[in-house]
């Protein structure tokens, strides 16, 4: 009996975090400390955040200050090298499975944009249309269409076109990228991917073939037009921690094929409106705020679905105050309300019972409406020509300027 | 217990024929009738060979007349369509694992060249450098170098450059080819490839990812520069029967992704000098005649290693004659001595004991020396520019003329 099977037999249900499933124990929140232990990554300590501030000469992003990005692998090495004058490149991505992005999808891109600006480094963004074609059983054409639609939302986040290459796997796999896929695949047994990703014999071989596709953008030689002769350039991957299995595998393989291990900086999940037992899901429209939602929809969704830590009656609320640990409006504000003082004020008043759920929800609706409307305006300005320009296979001559 | 495991437990050792291993039962020859049953292909009957002669207006190739190509799938449909005016294209390939080809490697190319000339059809030749990099643990660079060296030998077989596209997987995988790989991979479970190819959990995922790479040249849409708008063009694959598992899988998948099944015409194995228990292997230099061998080496190898069906003593030989069933010189002559009358004469005289092993071996050495020297001269004339020209991704405007 495997260790996992034994645990299940003992009735001790575990939290599940894989690239395809995020579920806390029944009735519980995701235990991030346990995830750090389980995955073997490091906690992102305050001294590293201070160092980011010092090296970039600007205040750390709200996602750093508030622990949204909370774990890392070798981020310290990246900073030390940067301090010595050695740049790096950023790699992040998206599986284009739905037309509209929700707020959870924006988190890594907002943070990546900040990293690009703060460190002045190039960025590659992988659209895994091949993955979604295989996992969601979409046609090739539909996956590619969604990839381009999603690219518009990504571009709307404000990336610098002189430092950013966005690519679709269906368009870009080949050449040096494919050679690196083969090099990685040679080093990983079927048993190994079963251990990492939980595949079974009934899974199709497309799934089993995919991990190298997500692995190889970690290696600069996969982008000969971007990084010619820079095979030892380090890569930093900002992503949600559910993507860690791909990069554990990548880091395991890298030294065996003569490449640098990618470093990671990993975020917690953006929770569903209904509460913090998993991540926001695009497949349940009532669990998520979409970047396409109207002000009215946002207000209604928050009022109707956002799980409140406030008390059942006004009387009890005034007496006991809100439980901020489970309160979704406060959680969302901690992602998107930039003003630290105002956030502290809300948390203090709300937990003391002087502020009501309705007031907090109103403030959240305003904050998200502003964010979403700003995004919608930016996206409306993204033309097909701009998508083509970001996705053109080209050198980026000013990528480190 | 699986059927296979049960057979082994019963002590009844089976012949093994996979793309990586060809072995008869101990002490026996490969049983091709059994292989036809096991694989579910059809025997190539005389009426089809007659039809080839009628349709092409030329005598059928010696490999057809003498049963070297002995099995098929849907070859009859290909001929019927051809008769109605519908052309097809040819697809064959080679795994470039060694510097020099041996005679067994030439068999499919000699036959494919005949088919191209006789039917006036285009041809794609896949060099699976990715496969050999993974199976033989060669570096990417070494695999690609061998692919180009092997391409020179292939070109030396006399293919028509206006109708032939040779490609290396490392160079060509991508675009429509990769999209078709994903479409195929989606339709094949891990359990299925284990059943077909015998992979185990300790095999690396590169091996598990490979079958779609060999499958998709069967589909014209993998070559948009060659067959634009001809997605329903039929494909005919001449190959040795050990490649059948790849194309059983391909034929199973094709209708599910809206593609035509490829047809096949399949050969027996070219036997080792030591006898007909397997196929000639490049890894044992004394089992094979190489296209680089000198006249003297050929003569020595034949005299020293070619398994003879002649009797132990001259006296017994004159009395009983040679056993042609196991005689390798006669077998080789039946591949490469084109003159039917002379071959019949040798077989008759040799089996009657009037001709001696030494005489037959001498005739074989002459035939093979002529063949190999002709090949060497043709190969010496193949320049790097010619390799580039055959491998250029380009339209073939005259491919059906």
Q: How many residues does chain B have?
A: 401
Strand order of the β-sheet with B123-127 is B42-43, B69-73, B263-267, B234-240, B88-94, B123-127, B164-168
**DSSP characters over A272-332:** BTTBTTS---TTSGGG--BTT--HHHHHHHHHHHS---S-SSHHHHHHH---TTT-HHHHH
Q: How many residues does chain A have?
A: 401
Q: What average pLDDT does this structure show over A93-105?
A: 92
- In a mutagenesis test of the B interface, which of A132, A139, A182 is the best target, namely the one with the most B β-carbons within 10 Å? A182
Res. B15 pLDDT band, cuts 50 70 90: confident
Q: What is the dihedral of CA B220, B221, B226, B231, to 10 degrees?
A: 60
The per-residue pLDDT for B276 is 77
Restricting to B residues 66-85, those with a Cβ less than 8 Å away from any Cβ of A are none
Higher pLDDT, B73 or A279: B73
Q: Would you call A194 and B204 a contact, using CB atoms and an 8 Å cutoff?
A: no
Q: How far apart are CA A333 and CA A343, in angstroms?
A: 7
pLDDT at B1 exceeding the cut of 60: no
pLDDT at A4 exceeding the cut of 90: no
The per-residue pLDDT for A11 is 39
Res. B283 pLDDT band, cuts 50 70 90: low
Average pLDDT, chain B: 93
Write the pLDDT tens digit of every residue in A120-135.
999 999 999 999 999 9
Q: Does A187 touch chain B (CB under 8 A)?
A: yes
The per-residue pLDDT for A68 is 97
Higher pLDDT, B124 or B9: B124
Write the pLDDT tens digit of every residue in A18-55.
888 888 887 788 899 999 999 999 999 999 999 999 99
Query: Considering only CA atoms, which of A90, A65, A88, A64 is closest in space to residue A78?
Result: A88
The per-residue pLDDT for B140 is 97
pLDDT at A9 exceeding the cut of 70: no
Write the pLDDT tens digit of every residue in B376-385.
999 999 999 9
Q: What average pLDDT does this structure show over B298-323?
A: 95
Res. B13 pLDDT band, cuts 50 70 90: low
Termini Cα distance of chain B: 55
The percentage of chain A sitting over the pLDDT mark of 90, rounded to a whole number, equals 87
Contact A283, A22 (CB under 8 A): no
Which residue is associated with the tokens 């039809």?
B51
The percentage of chain B sitting over the pLDDT mark of 90, rounded to a whole number, equals 87
Q: Would you call A205 and B212 a contact, using CB atoms and an 8 Å cutoff?
A: yes
Q: How far apart are CA B144 and CA B167, in angstroms?
A: 11
Q: What average pLDDT does this structure show over B129-149?
A: 96
β-strands B69-73, A69-73 pairing: unpaired
Half-sphere exposure of B378 (CA within 13 A, CB side): 16
Q: How far apart are CA A128 and CA A95, in angstroms?
A: 5
At residue A383, the 3 state secondary structure works out as coil
Q: Would you call A170 and B182 a contact, using CB atoms and an 8 Å cutoff?
A: yes
Write the pLDDT tens digit of every residue in A207-261.
999 999 999 999 999 999 999 999 999 999 999 999 999 999 999 999 999 999 9
pLDDT at B5 exceeding the cut of 50: no
For residue B89, give Cα distances in angstroms to A58, A350, B166. 63, 74, 13
The per-residue pLDDT for B11 is 39
Q: Would you call A186 and B133 a contact, using CB atoms and an 8 Å cutoff?
A: yes
Q: Which of B187, B206, B212 shows the shortest C-beta gap to A186?
A: B206
- In a mutagenesis test of the B interface, which of A184, A190, A198, A219 is the best target, namely the one with the most B β-carbons within 10 Å? A190
pLDDT at A73 exceeding the cut of 80: yes
The per-residue pLDDT for A40 is 94
Write the pLDDT tens digit of every residue in A336-393.
999 999 999 999 999 999 999 999 999 999 999 999 999 999 999 999 999 999 999 9
Burial tier of A285 (Cβ tally within 10 Å: 0-12, 13-18, 19+)? middle
Q: How far apart are CA B73 and CA B279, in angstroms?
A: 22
Res. A282 pLDDT band, cuts 50 70 90: low
Contact B54, B83 (CB under 8 A): no
Q: Does B258 touch chain A (CB under 8 A)?
A: no
Res. B28 pLDDT band, cuts 50 70 90: confident
Range of lowest pLDDT (A40-49, B12-21, B126-135, B275-284): B275-284
Write the pLDDT tens digit of every residue in A181-190.
999 999 999 9
In angstroms and rounded to an integer, the radius of gyration of the C-alpha atoms of chain B is 21
Q: Would you call A186 and B209 a contact, using CB atoms and an 8 Å cutoff?
A: no
Distance from CA of B210 to the nearest CA of A (A): 9
């Amino acid at each position: 009996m495997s260790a996992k099977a034994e645990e299940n037999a003992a009735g001790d249900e575990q939290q599940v975090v894989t690239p395809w499933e995020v579920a806390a124990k029944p009735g519980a929140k995701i235990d991030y400390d346990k995830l750090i232990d389980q995955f073997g990554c490091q906690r992102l300590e305050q001294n590293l955040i201070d160092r980011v501030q010092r090296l970039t000469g600007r205040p750390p992003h709200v996602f750093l200050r508030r622990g949204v990005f909370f774990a890392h692998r070798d981020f310290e090495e990246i900073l030390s090298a940067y301090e010595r004058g050695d740049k790096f490149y950023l790699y992040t991505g998206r599986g284009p499975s739905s037309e509209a992005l929700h707020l959870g999808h924006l988190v890594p891109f907002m943070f990546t944009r900040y990293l690009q600006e703060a460190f002045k480094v190039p960025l590659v963004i992988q659209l895994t249309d091949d993955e979604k074609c295989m996992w969601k059983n979409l046609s090739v054409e539909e996956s590619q269409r969604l990839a381009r639609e999603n690219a518009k939302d990504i571009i709307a986040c404000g990336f610098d076109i002189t430092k950013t290459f966005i690519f679709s796997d269906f368009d870009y796999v080949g050449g040096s990228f494919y050679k690196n896929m083969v090099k990685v695949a040679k080093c990983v047994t079927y048993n190994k991917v079963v251990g990492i990703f939980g595949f079974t014999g009934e899974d199709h071989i497309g799934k089993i073939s995919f991990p190298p596709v997500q692995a190889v953008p970690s290696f600069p030689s996969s982008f000969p037009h971007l990084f010619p002769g820079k095979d030892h350039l380090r890569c930093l991957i900002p992503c949600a921690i559910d993507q860690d299995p791909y990069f554990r595998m990548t880091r395991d393989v890298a030294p065996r094929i003569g490449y640098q291990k990618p470093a990671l900086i990993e975020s917690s999940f953006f929770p569903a409106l209904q509460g913090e037992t998993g991540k926001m899901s695009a497949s349940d429209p009532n669990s998520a705020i979409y970047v396409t939602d109207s002000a009215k929809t946002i207000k209604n969704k928050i009022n109707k679905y956002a799980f409140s830590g406030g008390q059942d009656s006004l009387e009890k609320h005034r007496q006991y105050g809100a439980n901020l640990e489970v309160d979704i409006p406060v959680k969302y504000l901690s992602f998107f309300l930039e003003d630290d003082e105002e956030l502290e004020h809300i948390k203090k008043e709300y937990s003391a019972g002087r502020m009501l759920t309705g007031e907090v929800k109103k403030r959240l609706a305003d904050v998200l409406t502003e964010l979403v409307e700003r995004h919608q305006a930016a996206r409306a300005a993204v033309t097909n020509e701009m998508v083509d320009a970001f996705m053109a296979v080209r050198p980026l001559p000013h990528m480190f300027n």
